[in-house]
Amino acid sequence: MVVLFAFTAALIATFITTPLVIRAAKKFGMVDDPQSRFHPAHTHHGTIPRAGGLAIYLGIIFAVAYILPPVKIILGIVAGATILMIVGLADDKKDVNPYIRLLTNALAAAITISSGIGIPFITNPLTGSVIRLDAFRVSFEFFGPHSIIVLADMFAFIWILWTINIVGWSAGVDGQMPGFVAIAAIIVGLLSLRFSIIDPSQTVVTILAFIVAGSFIGFLPWNFYPQHIMPGYGGKTLAGFFLAVIGILSYAKLGTAILVLGIPTIDAAYTLIRRLGTGRPLMAADRGHLHHRLLDIGWGKRRIALFYWAISAILGVLSLLINSQQKVFAFLVVAVVIGGFLLWVNLFLQLSKPQGPDSG
Protein backbone atom coordinates (compact mmCIF):
# COMPACT_ATOMS: atom_id res chain seq x y z
CA MET A 1 0.00 0.00 0.00
CA VAL A 2 2.86 2.37 0.86
CA VAL A 3 4.57 1.52 -2.42
CA LEU A 4 1.44 2.41 -4.41
CA PHE A 5 1.06 5.66 -2.46
CA ALA A 6 4.72 6.57 -3.09
CA PHE A 7 4.36 5.85 -6.82
CA THR A 8 1.17 7.92 -7.08
CA ALA A 9 2.53 10.83 -5.03
CA ALA A 10 5.63 11.16 -7.21
CA LEU A 11 3.58 10.81 -10.40
CA ILE A 12 1.06 13.50 -9.45
CA ALA A 13 3.71 15.86 -8.07
CA THR A 14 5.75 15.71 -11.27
CA PHE A 15 2.72 15.91 -13.54
CA ILE A 16 1.33 19.08 -11.94
CA THR A 17 4.78 20.66 -11.55
CA THR A 18 5.83 20.25 -15.18
CA PRO A 19 3.58 23.02 -16.64
CA LEU A 20 5.04 25.43 -14.07
CA VAL A 21 8.55 24.41 -15.09
CA ILE A 22 7.65 24.90 -18.77
CA ARG A 23 6.63 28.50 -18.05
CA ALA A 24 9.73 29.13 -15.92
CA ALA A 25 12.03 27.65 -18.59
CA LYS A 26 10.57 29.99 -21.22
CA LYS A 27 10.84 32.99 -18.87
CA PHE A 28 14.51 32.37 -17.98
CA GLY A 29 15.67 31.34 -21.45
CA MET A 30 16.14 27.65 -20.75
CA VAL A 31 15.00 26.66 -24.22
CA ASP A 32 16.43 24.66 -27.09
CA ASP A 33 16.30 26.18 -30.57
CA PRO A 34 18.36 24.29 -33.18
CA GLN A 35 18.69 27.50 -35.19
CA SER A 36 20.50 29.37 -32.42
CA ARG A 37 21.80 26.54 -30.25
CA PHE A 38 23.33 23.97 -32.59
CA HIS A 39 23.89 20.46 -31.32
CA PRO A 40 24.83 17.55 -33.61
CA ALA A 41 22.43 15.17 -31.86
CA HIS A 42 19.31 17.37 -32.22
CA THR A 43 16.24 15.55 -33.53
CA HIS A 44 13.59 18.25 -33.03
CA HIS A 45 12.48 21.41 -34.80
CA GLY A 46 11.37 24.67 -33.28
CA THR A 47 11.92 26.05 -29.80
CA ILE A 48 11.37 23.54 -26.98
CA PRO A 49 11.75 24.35 -23.26
CA ARG A 50 14.47 22.43 -21.45
CA ALA A 51 14.73 22.01 -17.65
CA GLY A 52 12.30 19.07 -17.49
CA GLY A 53 14.70 17.53 -14.99
CA LEU A 54 13.58 20.11 -12.45
CA ALA A 55 10.02 18.77 -12.51
CA ILE A 56 11.33 15.20 -12.18
CA TYR A 57 13.57 16.25 -9.29
CA LEU A 58 10.76 18.04 -7.46
CA GLY A 59 8.44 15.05 -7.84
CA ILE A 60 11.05 12.65 -6.47
CA ILE A 61 12.15 14.90 -3.62
CA PHE A 62 8.56 15.60 -2.57
CA ALA A 63 7.74 11.89 -2.31
CA VAL A 64 11.08 11.01 -0.67
CA ALA A 65 10.73 13.76 1.95
CA TYR A 66 7.15 12.81 2.72
CA ILE A 67 7.57 9.03 2.87
CA LEU A 68 11.16 7.92 3.48
CA PRO A 69 13.09 8.42 6.74
CA PRO A 70 15.86 11.07 6.70
CA VAL A 71 18.65 8.55 7.29
CA LYS A 72 22.25 9.05 6.14
CA ILE A 73 21.94 7.09 2.90
CA ILE A 74 18.74 8.87 1.83
CA LEU A 75 20.32 12.25 2.59
CA GLY A 76 23.40 11.26 0.57
CA ILE A 77 21.22 10.30 -2.40
CA VAL A 78 19.32 13.60 -2.17
CA ALA A 79 22.59 15.54 -1.99
CA GLY A 80 23.96 13.80 -5.07
CA ALA A 81 20.71 14.38 -6.97
CA THR A 82 20.71 18.05 -5.98
CA ILE A 83 24.19 18.58 -7.40
CA LEU A 84 23.13 16.98 -10.68
CA MET A 85 20.01 19.15 -10.79
CA ILE A 86 21.95 22.38 -10.24
CA VAL A 87 24.42 21.53 -13.00
CA GLY A 88 21.53 20.44 -15.20
CA LEU A 89 19.82 23.82 -14.85
CA ALA A 90 23.09 25.59 -15.63
CA ASP A 91 23.46 23.47 -18.77
CA ASP A 92 19.85 24.13 -19.75
CA LYS A 93 20.59 27.86 -19.59
CA LYS A 94 23.95 27.74 -21.34
CA ASP A 95 25.80 24.60 -22.39
CA VAL A 96 28.35 23.53 -19.77
CA ASN A 97 31.67 22.04 -20.89
CA PRO A 98 31.23 18.23 -21.07
CA TYR A 99 34.33 17.61 -18.96
CA ILE A 100 33.03 19.91 -16.23
CA ARG A 101 29.75 17.99 -16.35
CA LEU A 102 31.69 14.74 -16.00
CA LEU A 103 33.51 16.09 -12.95
CA THR A 104 30.25 17.13 -11.30
CA ASN A 105 28.81 13.70 -12.07
CA ALA A 106 31.82 12.23 -10.30
CA LEU A 107 31.28 14.57 -7.34
CA ALA A 108 27.64 13.51 -7.02
CA ALA A 109 28.68 9.85 -7.16
CA ALA A 110 31.39 10.37 -4.53
CA ILE A 111 29.03 12.15 -2.11
CA THR A 112 26.43 9.41 -2.51
CA ILE A 113 28.99 6.66 -1.93
CA SER A 114 30.30 8.48 1.16
CA SER A 115 26.84 8.11 2.70
CA GLY A 116 27.30 4.35 2.79
CA ILE A 117 26.32 3.09 -0.67
CA GLY A 118 28.70 0.52 -2.12
CA ILE A 119 28.83 -2.77 -3.98
CA PRO A 120 29.94 -5.32 -1.37
CA PHE A 121 29.84 -8.26 -3.76
CA ILE A 122 29.14 -9.30 -7.33
CA THR A 123 28.02 -12.65 -8.64
CA ASN A 124 30.29 -14.45 -11.10
CA PRO A 125 27.88 -15.03 -14.02
CA LEU A 126 29.82 -18.07 -15.24
CA THR A 127 29.94 -20.04 -11.99
CA GLY A 128 27.27 -18.41 -9.83
CA SER A 129 29.81 -17.90 -7.03
CA VAL A 130 29.98 -14.67 -5.03
CA ILE A 131 33.01 -12.39 -5.39
CA ARG A 132 33.47 -10.29 -2.26
CA LEU A 133 34.53 -6.67 -2.72
CA ASP A 134 34.36 -5.55 0.91
CA ALA A 135 37.47 -7.20 2.33
CA PHE A 136 39.97 -4.36 1.78
CA ARG A 137 39.12 -1.44 4.06
CA VAL A 138 41.05 1.77 4.83
CA SER A 139 40.17 3.48 8.14
CA PHE A 140 41.00 7.05 9.12
CA GLU A 141 40.02 9.85 11.53
CA PHE A 142 38.32 13.00 10.26
CA PHE A 143 36.03 14.56 12.83
CA GLY A 144 35.41 11.00 13.94
CA PRO A 145 36.19 7.51 12.64
CA HIS A 146 35.63 6.81 8.93
CA SER A 147 36.50 3.99 6.57
CA ILE A 148 36.67 3.41 2.83
CA ILE A 149 35.82 -0.03 1.47
CA VAL A 150 38.16 0.35 -1.48
CA LEU A 151 36.88 -2.11 -4.09
CA ALA A 152 33.22 -1.82 -3.12
CA ASP A 153 33.34 1.97 -3.34
CA MET A 154 35.40 1.97 -6.54
CA PHE A 155 32.97 -0.37 -8.33
CA ALA A 156 30.02 1.71 -7.11
CA PHE A 157 31.68 4.91 -8.36
CA ILE A 158 32.30 3.45 -11.83
CA TRP A 159 28.78 1.99 -12.00
CA ILE A 160 27.09 5.29 -11.08
CA LEU A 161 29.22 7.33 -13.49
CA TRP A 162 28.69 4.82 -16.32
CA THR A 163 24.92 4.60 -15.84
CA ILE A 164 24.50 8.38 -15.69
CA ASN A 165 26.14 8.70 -19.10
CA ILE A 166 24.64 5.74 -20.96
CA VAL A 167 21.09 6.71 -20.01
CA GLY A 168 21.76 10.29 -21.07
CA TRP A 169 22.95 9.13 -24.47
CA SER A 170 19.62 7.35 -25.04
CA ALA A 171 17.43 10.43 -24.58
CA GLY A 172 17.25 11.50 -28.18
CA VAL A 173 13.58 11.52 -29.21
CA ASP A 174 10.29 12.51 -27.60
CA GLY A 175 9.28 10.21 -24.75
CA GLN A 176 12.12 7.77 -25.33
CA MET A 177 13.98 8.15 -22.05
CA PRO A 178 11.20 8.61 -19.45
CA GLY A 179 9.46 5.46 -20.67
CA PHE A 180 12.36 3.03 -20.46
CA VAL A 181 13.63 4.61 -17.23
CA ALA A 182 10.23 4.08 -15.58
CA ILE A 183 10.19 0.47 -16.79
CA ALA A 184 13.70 -0.15 -15.48
CA ALA A 185 12.84 1.37 -12.09
CA ILE A 186 9.70 -0.79 -11.80
CA ILE A 187 11.71 -3.93 -12.61
CA VAL A 188 14.32 -3.10 -9.96
CA GLY A 189 11.49 -2.26 -7.54
CA LEU A 190 9.91 -5.65 -8.12
CA LEU A 191 13.28 -7.29 -7.55
CA SER A 192 13.76 -5.53 -4.21
CA LEU A 193 10.15 -6.33 -3.29
CA ARG A 194 10.99 -10.00 -3.75
CA PHE A 195 13.90 -9.67 -1.29
CA SER A 196 11.87 -7.64 1.22
CA ILE A 197 10.20 -10.90 2.28
CA ILE A 198 13.47 -11.98 3.92
CA ASP A 199 14.92 -8.51 4.55
CA PRO A 200 12.42 -5.81 5.58
CA SER A 201 15.02 -3.09 4.96
CA GLN A 202 14.55 -3.70 1.23
CA THR A 203 11.11 -2.08 1.54
CA VAL A 204 12.81 1.33 1.50
CA VAL A 205 14.53 0.40 -1.79
CA THR A 206 11.22 -0.74 -3.26
CA ILE A 207 9.59 2.54 -2.28
CA LEU A 208 12.46 4.59 -3.75
CA ALA A 209 12.33 2.61 -7.01
CA PHE A 210 8.61 3.20 -7.41
CA ILE A 211 9.02 6.88 -6.54
CA VAL A 212 11.51 7.17 -9.40
CA ALA A 213 9.17 5.27 -11.74
CA GLY A 214 6.20 7.43 -10.74
CA SER A 215 8.06 10.67 -11.30
CA PHE A 216 9.21 9.72 -14.80
CA ILE A 217 5.73 8.48 -15.74
CA GLY A 218 4.31 11.77 -14.47
CA PHE A 219 6.72 13.61 -16.77
CA LEU A 220 6.03 11.37 -19.79
CA PRO A 221 2.74 12.97 -21.00
CA TRP A 222 4.53 16.30 -21.37
CA ASN A 223 7.52 14.76 -23.14
CA PHE A 224 5.85 12.26 -25.48
CA TYR A 225 5.50 13.27 -29.14
CA PRO A 226 4.95 16.09 -29.78
CA GLN A 227 6.94 17.08 -26.72
CA HIS A 228 6.13 20.22 -24.74
CA ILE A 229 9.36 20.07 -22.74
CA MET A 230 12.66 18.21 -22.89
CA PRO A 231 14.24 16.41 -19.91
CA GLY A 232 17.34 18.55 -20.30
CA TYR A 233 20.72 17.52 -19.01
CA GLY A 234 19.41 17.44 -15.44
CA GLY A 235 16.64 14.99 -16.33
CA LYS A 236 19.04 12.68 -18.13
CA THR A 237 21.60 12.61 -15.34
CA LEU A 238 18.95 12.12 -12.66
CA ALA A 239 17.58 9.16 -14.60
CA GLY A 240 20.93 7.39 -14.75
CA PHE A 241 21.84 8.37 -11.20
CA PHE A 242 18.70 6.98 -9.59
CA LEU A 243 18.76 3.78 -11.68
CA ALA A 244 22.38 3.22 -10.66
CA VAL A 245 21.63 3.82 -6.97
CA ILE A 246 18.55 1.59 -6.74
CA GLY A 247 20.44 -1.06 -8.71
CA ILE A 248 23.11 -1.07 -6.00
CA LEU A 249 20.67 -0.97 -3.10
CA SER A 250 18.59 -3.90 -4.39
CA TYR A 251 21.21 -6.34 -3.13
CA ALA A 252 23.62 -5.16 -5.83
CA LYS A 253 21.72 -7.06 -8.52
CA LEU A 254 23.52 -5.17 -11.24
CA GLY A 255 23.00 -7.98 -13.75
CA THR A 256 19.28 -7.24 -13.75
CA ALA A 257 19.87 -3.50 -14.20
CA ILE A 258 22.37 -4.11 -17.01
CA LEU A 259 19.98 -6.41 -18.85
CA VAL A 260 16.92 -4.14 -18.54
CA LEU A 261 19.13 -1.28 -19.79
CA GLY A 262 20.43 -3.51 -22.56
CA ILE A 263 19.82 -1.14 -25.46
CA PRO A 264 21.32 1.99 -23.80
CA THR A 265 24.28 -0.08 -22.56
CA ILE A 266 25.02 -1.61 -25.96
CA ASP A 267 24.43 1.67 -27.76
CA ALA A 268 26.91 3.37 -25.41
CA ALA A 269 29.51 0.63 -25.92
CA TYR A 270 29.27 0.89 -29.70
CA THR A 271 29.38 4.68 -29.44
CA LEU A 272 32.64 4.58 -27.47
CA ILE A 273 34.14 2.07 -29.93
CA ARG A 274 33.06 4.23 -32.88
CA ARG A 275 34.53 7.40 -31.36
CA LEU A 276 37.78 5.67 -30.48
CA GLY A 277 37.99 4.21 -33.99
CA THR A 278 37.51 7.60 -35.63
CA GLY A 279 39.72 9.51 -33.20
CA ARG A 280 36.85 11.64 -31.87
CA PRO A 281 36.82 12.79 -28.22
CA LEU A 282 34.84 10.33 -26.10
CA MET A 283 32.64 13.08 -24.67
CA ALA A 284 31.95 14.80 -28.01
CA ALA A 285 28.31 14.52 -29.09
CA ASP A 286 27.48 13.07 -32.51
CA ARG A 287 24.58 11.74 -34.54
CA GLY A 288 25.47 8.06 -34.53
CA HIS A 289 23.31 6.63 -31.73
CA LEU A 290 20.76 3.91 -32.38
CA HIS A 291 17.80 6.30 -32.29
CA HIS A 292 19.52 8.51 -34.89
CA ARG A 293 20.01 5.50 -37.16
CA LEU A 294 16.37 4.53 -36.76
CA LEU A 295 15.38 8.06 -37.76
CA ASP A 296 17.71 7.85 -40.76
CA ILE A 297 15.91 4.79 -42.12
CA GLY A 298 12.52 6.42 -41.74
CA TRP A 299 11.21 5.46 -38.30
CA GLY A 300 9.00 8.02 -36.58
CA LYS A 301 9.67 9.33 -33.08
CA ARG A 302 6.66 7.58 -31.54
CA ARG A 303 7.77 4.29 -33.05
CA ILE A 304 11.31 4.68 -31.73
CA ALA A 305 10.08 5.49 -28.22
CA LEU A 306 7.72 2.52 -28.20
CA PHE A 307 10.52 0.28 -29.50
CA TYR A 308 12.78 1.27 -26.60
CA TRP A 309 9.94 0.75 -24.11
CA ALA A 310 8.99 -2.65 -25.51
CA ILE A 311 12.54 -4.02 -25.56
CA SER A 312 13.20 -2.69 -22.05
CA ALA A 313 10.01 -4.31 -20.76
CA ILE A 314 10.79 -7.65 -22.42
CA LEU A 315 14.36 -7.70 -21.10
CA GLY A 316 13.14 -6.56 -17.68
CA VAL A 317 10.60 -9.35 -17.31
CA LEU A 318 13.16 -11.81 -18.63
CA SER A 319 15.71 -10.65 -16.04
CA LEU A 320 13.29 -11.55 -13.24
CA LEU A 321 12.87 -15.08 -14.54
CA ILE A 322 16.38 -16.24 -15.46
CA ASN A 323 19.65 -16.83 -13.61
CA SER A 324 22.99 -15.02 -13.93
CA GLN A 325 24.39 -17.25 -16.68
CA GLN A 326 21.24 -16.87 -18.75
CA LYS A 327 21.35 -13.09 -18.30
CA VAL A 328 24.84 -13.03 -19.82
CA PHE A 329 23.64 -15.09 -22.77
CA ALA A 330 20.58 -12.86 -23.28
CA PHE A 331 22.72 -9.73 -23.12
CA LEU A 332 25.17 -11.11 -25.69
CA VAL A 333 22.31 -12.00 -28.04
CA VAL A 334 20.95 -8.45 -27.79
CA ALA A 335 24.45 -7.04 -28.33
CA VAL A 336 24.96 -9.09 -31.49
CA VAL A 337 21.53 -8.17 -32.86
CA ILE A 338 21.91 -4.44 -32.16
CA GLY A 339 25.50 -4.44 -33.45
CA GLY A 340 24.49 -6.25 -36.63
CA PHE A 341 21.62 -3.82 -37.13
CA LEU A 342 23.90 -0.78 -36.74
CA LEU A 343 26.39 -2.22 -39.24
CA TRP A 344 23.56 -2.95 -41.68
CA VAL A 345 22.16 0.56 -41.35
CA ASN A 346 25.59 2.12 -41.91
CA LEU A 347 26.07 -0.02 -45.03
CA PHE A 348 22.52 0.71 -46.23
CA LEU A 349 22.98 4.45 -45.83
CA GLN A 350 26.32 4.37 -47.62
CA LEU A 351 24.88 2.44 -50.57
CA SER A 352 21.85 4.75 -50.67
CA LYS A 353 23.95 7.87 -51.19
CA PRO A 354 23.91 9.28 -54.72
CA GLN A 355 26.94 8.00 -56.57
CA GLY A 356 29.17 10.26 -58.63
CA PRO A 357 29.64 9.66 -62.38
CA ASP A 358 31.79 6.71 -63.29
CA SER A 359 35.24 8.00 -64.18
CA GLY A 360 36.47 4.64 -65.44
Q: What is the pLDDT of residues 265-318, one digit of tens each?
A: 888 888 888 888 777 777 667 777 888 888 888 888 999 999 999 999 999 999
Of the given ranges (13-17, 186-190, 287-291, 326-330), which has the lowest mean pLDDT? 287-291
Q: What is the pLDDT of residues 217-253, one digit of tens each?
A: 999 999 998 899 999 999 999 999 999 999 999 865 6
Strands 145-149 and 137-141, how do they pair? antiparallel
Strands 121-123 and 48-49, how do they pair? unpaired
Instruction: Spell out the residues 6+ positions from residue 104 whose beta carbon is closer than 8 angstroms to its own.
Output: 83, 84, 87
Is residue 31 pLDDT above 60, yes or no?
Answer: yes
Segment 40-64 shows an average pLDDT of 84
- Separation between Cα atoms, residue 133 and residue 338, nearest integer Å: 32
- Residue 358: predicted pLDDT: 39
Residue 297, H or E segment: none
Q: Which residue has the higher pLDDT, 329 or 358?
A: 329
The residue type at 33: D
Is residue 357 pLDDT above 50, yes or no?
Answer: no
Is residue 111 pLDDT above 80, yes or no?
Answer: yes
The angle, 0 to 180 degrees and rounded to 10, between the axes of the packed helices 52-67 and 202-223 is 150
- Residue 144: predicted pLDDT: 59
Nearest to 236 by CA among 63, 45, 98: 98
Report CA-CA distances (Å) from 54 to 7, 32, 116, 232, 349: 18, 16, 26, 9, 38
pTM: 0.89
Nearest to 69 by CA among 193, 198, 184, 203: 203
Q: Which residues of 45-71 are buried (b: 16+ CB within 10 A; e: fewer)?
A: eeebbbbbbbbbbbbbbbbbeebbeee
Cβ neighbours, 10 Å, residue 296: 15
Nearest to 53 by CA among 29, 101, 18: 18
Catalogue the long-range contacts made by 19-22 (C-beta closer than 8 Å, 24 or more residues apart): 19/222, 20/55, 21/49, 21/51, 21/52, 21/54, 21/55, 21/58, 21/229, 22/49, 22/222, 22/228, 22/229
